[in-house]
Structure 1
């Protein structure tokens, strides 16, 4: 075992069950999502870790023979300012501290965990020159279910500098770990086992997590923001119980269709620093909002409490950790997976709508798409045929329409573009999470370091923008089909599928709800890659803004789920009103899950149920 890289080499088993091997070369979007959701734990491939050890040794050898950017020099516009050899370790710490300037809301645990997984895997690709103890600590954090507090704003697509600096300070023990998913807050206090603890960096703010609906930015977020905690000088750990006190408002119901629990519902904020004695005196009452700096927690105490031991920062570690778009890639992977699920669910919803208006199968005929061979369009048409049991070559149509509106007739063409864009996005993400992007990049043969721009995330940003634009095209057709379902001239049914008097509104309001969500989606399609910035005294005169594109993609998928759910509610209602509903599995599944009452009534519950049904339809 190699103990020279600040810790023993951890020999992990191959993937078994809920274990995913990180080796720097084969991580998939699906595996990344499993790690982010806590559905799997990582193990580090020993050969990949040895590759990282060689890269770390190469960096040390090259630095001894001449200056390396960010190690023997300043960073950014300070690139030509030399750093004395004796000051290199302190310089690395200053880089982390000075770059931990993120702002805005704290990010959900799921996104931060995705970032940790990406960064660990990238470092195992070799080339960073970082000490491998950082890789071990990242993997430990994922296994233990803890994450750093990371703010939303700070990156422009040339490296997630603030997020990774905040992560680095947490890994070395200067900032707090957060464990769990939520906390109940009250004013300037956070409940901790019936006792109140102040939050030195927060005023009872609340963060929303997909899994739980609410999460603590009170005790946890505020502490993480500056390395301070509301814990008293005599208490090192503050745990929020799963059940709030009786006078604490109940948690609202989760509303996201992406709910993925990661760990038990508790928030633990652990202020850490260099080893020192820890007092075991209990907390006996409310702690003032202006709480003192927390007591340092030594490594053994951290380990026994289930937190990674702090890593000792060495020369060159700071820039090696920061040179990555790991957060953006994690967010992009979450968006791509959600997009993939929704696009597959769209096949089922569009098929139901086609059946509801007795639409023509000719637009979905296999010969049509064989002659214009776009993979996505052919797949979309084929899926609709499969779900409705249609033949590849439909018989001569005898109906009241020669052809249908675009929402039905052009569906394969528009939706196919979204399928192709989603697949392209997945391919780019899987390239980026499995290759080194660090600057400078250590050569695998140990003889050179290359200064380059591999951290410039143009491929990712452009792919995200393209996916949003393609999604808009298919979302607009979903809204068009929703409108068609309310038209008696197309369905042969009552206007807006009302079941009472002729003046009944039926599903009329769903057009408004869908178009409201569609407007949100449309606002997400302004290409983030069209942005421009000149920074660091003109040295960095361009940016990809991939981080903004990733956040837009997450919002776009949320909005699209609502658009599609509105169409699903209407299509199922329309088919229920048909004399003979289609005898296909997709209708049976949808009808069993959605309310059958057709009276004029609030439809929010119907839309919520339809949204939750989309992942099920995606698997049919």
Structure 2
């Protein structure tokens, strides 16, 4: 067994790919000495300040109970009551992958030194990640203003009051200053958002390859991807998409004439529709990178100012809005994939039999793929609906707005699953068409992509169930994203 990778958490430089690394693999997680020092200094500062002034959640109640003073005799019992009362999550359990990502993000946020939580919590989270321990945590209970139920259940697991699903650690003592300090985060929402964002990014990169294969089958016109066209309206994502298609298809110089004077939108408008999705996902990733490295705890301990500040960093409007935008743009590109699939089964576009059938008259070929694609597209459409049009008023009217970024993150994961199915349908049809009418792909990246798909997908062209083909094509998209 080889040496495990080591990730040093410092509270400032965590990347989305680091989150996926820890979510997917066994990694040794360590806390940097500077982060340990910062956390210790913040813990001592907030302890000193608590003796001289009111600090929300430490010397007071929370929510509408913010004006109720907690006596010094309460000790750690106040913190335990906070955790127990907030550990009211319900529904299905969060999957281990999401929980590992959550634990890493929460650790990194604590390492930024703004929570005032005891440094032993950082050591415990790092130990849990290194040991592969996974807490038992319910999914439902957050509205984008702090993952209170998820993190309360996690804290009680660390303290020994709740069970671990996998592995475990010796109980970690928690005091009053640890309770709200640990809960005051959207780490679970961010974990789900990061993992979904990375998958959407992979699928968008793979979609360039799938669209290029369909372009070859359909005899697309290079004019739609020509550099002068996109220099005339240089949105970054649009320019990037057109450049990717030119690279995959070996387009250079003055574009040659296509088979048609103008292609259907699935080919002709691909850069204009794919571009916004590329830009939206890139922006979403920037937002998430800021969030996973941010000091978000309320109240926030500032070592530089030597003070504690009450604020609203727990509100994740940036995340919710960016997720809404990304999901909406993915819906548009998925519609184009379904449209290209419709073109691939149409003889007037391909010169091949209807539905790419091969067999006696009346054979259905890939007819069913359009139904599957539009079923997945319908599910994607529902998951793409914006969450930011709603809000909530809770805690006796004191907390009178919510971002619902948690729901936006869940729906982003649903969008990714559905989009993968839509692309898989197009890929199966495009590969089948290229088998029926081989094209001279020369020494181009798209040729290597076809060779890979050709080696993986079943070559049988007779009428038969296509479920296994779709499963294989969906899995293949991650490899196509690297072309």
Normalization by structure 1: what TM-score? 0.76
Distance 1:533 1:597, change over 3 A: same
The superposition leaves residues 494-516 of structure 1 with CA deviations (integer Å, 9 ceiling, x where unpaired) of 00100112311111100000100
Distance 1:139 1:392, change over 3 A: farther
2:100 matches 1:113: yes
- Residue 51 of structure 1 aligns with which residue? 38
User: Which residue of 42, 45, 52 maps to 1:65?
Assistant: 52
The superposition leaves residues 35-94 of structure 1 with CA deviations (integer Å, 9 ceiling, x where unpaired) of 111243311111111111111111101101112100100000000001001104110000
2:367 matches 1:380: no
- Residue 483 of structure 1 aligns with which residue? 342
Contact conserved, 1:58 with 1:446, CA < 8 A, in 2?
Answer: no
- Residue 290 of structure 2 aligns with which residue? 431
The superposition leaves residues 431-452 of structure 1 with CA deviations (integer Å, 9 ceiling, x where unpaired) of 0010110000011225211100
User: Which residue of 329, 352, 359 maps to 1:500?
Assistant: 359
Counterparts of 1:579 and 1:607 in 2: how far apart (Å)? 21
CA shift, 1:393, in A, is 3.5
- Residue 263 of structure 1 aligns with which residue? none
- Residue 148 of structure 2 aligns with which residue? 161
Residues 149-228 of structure 1: matches in 2 within 5 Å?
149-179=136-166
SS of the aligned residue for 2:176 comes to: coil
Counterparts of 1:322 and 1:574 in 2: how far apart (Å)? 54
Residues 20-59 of structure 1: matches in 2 within 5 Å?
20-59=7-46
CA shift, 1:470, in A, is 0.6
Structure having the higher helix fraction is 2
Counterparts of 2:28 and 2:231 in 1: how far apart (Å)? 43
Residues 339-488 of structure 1: matches in 2 within 5 Å?
339-395=200-256, 397=257, 399=259, 401-445=260-304, 447-488=306-347
User: Which residue of 309, 320, 338 maps to 2:199?
Assistant: 338
2:476 matches 1:617: no
User: Which residue of 111, 117, 132 maps to 1:130?
Assistant: 117
Residues 68-107 of structure 1: matches in 2 within 5 Å?
68-107=55-94
2:437 matches 1:578: yes
- Residue 459 of structure 2 aligns with which residue? 596
- Residue 176 of structure 2 aligns with which residue? 315
Distance 1:177 1:392, change over 3 A: farther
Q: List runs of 5+ in structure 2 lacking aligned partners.
A: none
Counterparts of 2:78 and 2:93 in 1: how far apart (Å)? 27
Normalization by structure 2: what TM-score? 0.97
Contact conserved, 1:127 with 1:442, CA < 8 A, in 2?
Answer: yes
Counterparts of 2:479 and 2:283 in 1: how far apart (Å)? 24
User: Which residue of 460, 464, 468 maps to 1:605?
Assistant: 468
2:403 matches 1:544: yes
Count of matched residue pairs: 477
Counterparts of 1:579 and 1:353 in 2: how far apart (Å)? 13
Distance 1:110 1:579, change over 3 A: closer
Q: List runs of 5+ in structure 1 lacking aligned partners.
A: 1-15, 180-267, 269-306
Counterparts of 2:258 and 2:80 in 1: how far apart (Å)? 76
The superposition leaves residues 411-444 of structure 1 with CA deviations (integer Å, 9 ceiling, x where unpaired) of 0111111111111111011100101100000112
- Residue 271 of structure 1 aligns with which residue? none
CA shift, 1:17, in A, is 6.7
* Structure 1 vs Structure 2 CA RMSD: 1.2
Looking at both structures, which has the greater relative contact order when contacts are Cα pairs under 8 Å and sequence separation is at least 6? 2
CA shift, 1:338, in A, is 0.6
Name the stretch that deviates more: 383-392 or 373-382: 383-392
Counterparts of 2:176 and 2:369 in 1: how far apart (Å)? 59
